[in-house]
Structure 1
Amino acid sequence: MLLAGQAPSFAQTSSTWNNRQCAVVLTYDDAIDVDLDNAIPALDSVRLRGTFYLIGSSPVVTKRLPAWRQAAQRGHELGNHALMHPCDGTLPGRGFVTPDNDLSKYTVSRAVSEARVNNTLLKAIDGKTARTFAYPCGDLTIGGVKFYDQLKNDFVAARGVTGGLQKPAEVDLTNIDSYMINGQSGEYLIDLVKKAQQSHTLLVFLFHGVGGGHSLNVDLKAHRALLRYLKAHEKDIWVAPMVEVAEKIKAYQQGSTSK
């Protein structure tokens, strides 16, 4: 039984989630072959759409550009994961960062310019002007300055790497929470969705490899189980690309502040 005061809150949340219990966004990082070989065919087979965060300099963008264009035409979002995927090399566990792609050696203007160049590339592929950004390695700052502050007008929102389920009013559109998946079972993935359904929240999955292709990986069976569950419950769960969900959240938040 709902207590007084709970019903309006759920009604507003339900409206933001396209009159469903919750919203689920499936995101895939780094523009790798398995995106096109495994993830997109799996999504297309159940008519679900995801967001693919592309690194502009990835050779998989260059050599398979028509396939990315076809994915966009089928409704998948081509998100911006920066031109060179710069990460802060001063942080622990960052031995993979090269001097050329060390975010700590960037200026803010360089990071902003490279993100905008990647937007130009992505627009040339899909013809779209609205899209979202994903922070490489989840790094938000250069010398303590949040570089995305200069990019807010270039994107609908930006996705981070901190796990969490959030209601529309709680979402920070400059750093949206997401669950990074690496080796978890299909049961774990589905359980996260059930929690989002119960709490009427936003759930964002962050995948890299799907059936291989990356050191961070979800197995094909687990990924397939998640997609099957989402498809079977599509009357209760809104599954859409990040740009569409973020636009709904932005409208909700702007409406709330104007009241």
Structure 2
Amino acid sequence: MTPALRLLSCVSAFLLAASFASHAQTTRPWNNKQCAVVLTYDDAIDVDLDNALPALDSVGLRGTFYLIGSSPVVARRLPEWRRAAQSGHELGNHALMHPCDGSLPGRSFVTPDTDLSKYTVTRAVSEVRAANVLLSAIDGKTDRTFAYPCGDRQIGGTYFYEQLRQDFVGARGVTAGLQTAAQVDLANIDSYMINGQSGDYLVDLVKKAQQSHTLLVFLFHGVGGGHGLNVDLKAHRQLLRYLKAHEQDIWVAPMVEVAAKVKATQQGNAKPRG
């Protein structure tokens, strides 16, 4: 072999190894699949149990249901929530009273009793922890994630979740975006809020996550009605069918499992190299 061919062979081998290493780095956080998808459902409403949960169970997929501790649907249908947890779905924490910042524009729906801008940080933290006690009584678990009501993270300029970091594996926000495991902020995980978009739009988001090897989080409220923010049953079904048909390439899991994987990956990457 001539020196030129030997050099070309070495360069080719190096590039091939680098390609494999890059692919492994991008897919390893997602259980060696192309991407991760998390299906989240907010507010503990009847359609969670009537529509969303049966749809997930019918195709063997698991999601995260962010429960408001004071929701009458939690109290009235507690055995069904417990069965959902036993089936592998996560019961996430969406606070005790779902307080939102009433001082922001477009917040006329916020009542004086649930106005986060009038809370103290201590009150907000205490209510979130009280909701955790309730959820643990339902599912017997201690590991779970949090979702900011209305996406509001601050009280008087203070990020109240800073006092809750040890209580949760992660917290879901409302900023849309696709992120690699290294880019994910576990105190404010990106998500796409869905309200009226088509099934094609939902599937296209998944395809983008597959191509970019990123985390995609869907934020649903009503599924087939039941809330002012809604996804059509047909569109929701189309998304689930695509995920099921491509489960060999897409890791679909509750937020608590994906966040734990992201955390482990980030900590592993942060270890000093000897």
Sort the TM-score into its range (normalised by shorter chain): over 0.9
Aligned residue among 231, 240, 256 for 1:243: 256
**Are 1:114 and 2:127 an aligned pair?**
yes
Partners of 1:20 and 1:37 in 2: how far apart?
A: 31
How many angstroms does 1:5 deviate by? 4.4
**Are 1:252 and 2:265 an aligned pair?**
yes
* Aligned match of 1:68: 81
* Aligned match of 1:18: 31
Partners of 1:74 and 1:45 in 2: how far apart?
A: 12
**Are 1:95 and 2:108 an aligned pair?**
yes
Aligned residue among 167, 174, 177 for 1:161: 174
* Aligned match of 2:11: none
Letter of the 2:140 partner, please give it: G
**Are 1:41 and 2:54 an aligned pair?**
yes
RMSD (Å) for aligned C-alpha atoms: 1.2
Q: Deviations over 1:1-26 (max 9, x none)?
A: x8874542320221110110000000
Q: Deviations over 1:170-214 (max 9, x none)?
A: 000000000000000000000000000000000000000000000
Q: Once superposed, which parts of structure 1, at least 4 consecutive aligned residues long, lie more than 3 Å away?
A: 2-7
The answer for unaligned runs of 5 or more in structure 2 is 1-14
CA contact 1:107–1:142 (8 Å) conserved in 2: yes
**Are 1:187 and 2:200 an aligned pair?**
yes
Q: TM-score, normalised by structure 2?
A: 0.93
Partners of 2:22 and 2:116 in 1: how far apart?
A: 41
CA contact 1:50–1:76 (8 Å) conserved in 2: yes
* Aligned match of 2:4: none
After superposition, residues 200-211 of structure 1 pair within 5 angstroms as: 200-211=213-224
Q: Deviations over 1:138-197 (max 9, x none)?
A: 001000000000000000000000000000000000000000000000000000000000
Residue correspondences, number: 259
**Are 1:131 and 2:144 an aligned pair?**
yes
The residue matched to 2:37 in structure 1 has which SS?
strand
Q: Deviations over 1:14-52 (max 9, x none)?
A: 111011000000000000000000000000000000000
The answer for unaligned runs of 5 or more in structure 1 is none
The residue matched to 2:166 in structure 1 has which SS?
coil
Q: Deviations over 1:89-137 (max 9, x none)?
A: 0000000000000000000000000000000000000000000000000
Letter of the 2:53 partner, please give it: I
Task: State the structure with more CA Rg.
Answer: 2
**Are 1:230 and 2:240 an aligned pair?**
no
Q: Percent identity?
A: 80
Partners of 2:187 and 2:19 in 1: how far apart?
A: 28
* Aligned match of 1:146: 159
Partners of 1:113 and 1:28 in 2: how far apart?
A: 23
Q: TM-score, normalised by structure 1?
A: 0.98
